[in-house]
Every structure is written in C-alpha cells, then in structure tokens.
Amino acid sequence: MNCDRDAFLAQTDVSRETIERFDIYAALLKQWTKRINLVAPNTIPTLWRRHFLDSAQLERFMSSSVWVDLGSG
C-alpha cells in the first residue's frame, strides 16, 4: 500500500466508497498527466498528500453550501 495514501486515510474520515472513488481518480490522474498537464508530474508520488489531503483539510470549515475548487493552473 502507498504511504501517501495511508497518511490520507489516517487524517481523514471518509467512507470506503469515497476512498474507492479517490483510488479511481488517482489512477486517472496518473494516466492522463502523461498526456496532458493535469498536475505537475513530480507531484504524482505525493498525490494523496499534495492534492487530495491538501483540499480535504478544508472540509472541517465548510458549511452545507456548494464549493468549487478552481485550482491555480
């Protein structure tokens, strides 16, 4: 198992189904970043911490409103 993924699991409280979706999303990011610049290639090894956990840490501050993460790229 991926240490980066394990750190995400230890620091978040998301359902098994959500983790399965994150796994699919991570695989798609790894696949497509090779073709189009979705994330910096050097961040792929730390994808769970650098991209997923970085966004998930804001969840505790969210209300039931709708949020959109536009990114910076």
pLDDT digit string, tens, across residues 28-53 = 999 999 899 888 999 999 999 988 98
Please give the Cα distance from 20 to 28 (Å, whole number): 13
Q: With cut-offs at 50, 70 and 90, classify the pLDDT of residue 19.
A: very high
In the predicted model, is pLDDT for residue 72 greater than 70?
Answer: no
Q: With cut-offs at 50, 70 and 90, classify the pLDDT of residue 2.
A: confident
Task: Kindly give, in sequence order, each residue whose CB lies less than 8 Å from that of residue 26, ignoring residues fewer than 6 positions away.
Answer: 5, 47, 48, 52
Q: pTM of whole model > 0.85?
A: no
CB atoms within 10 A of CB 5: 18
Structure tokens at 19: 């983790």
**Residue 3 has what pLDDT?**
80
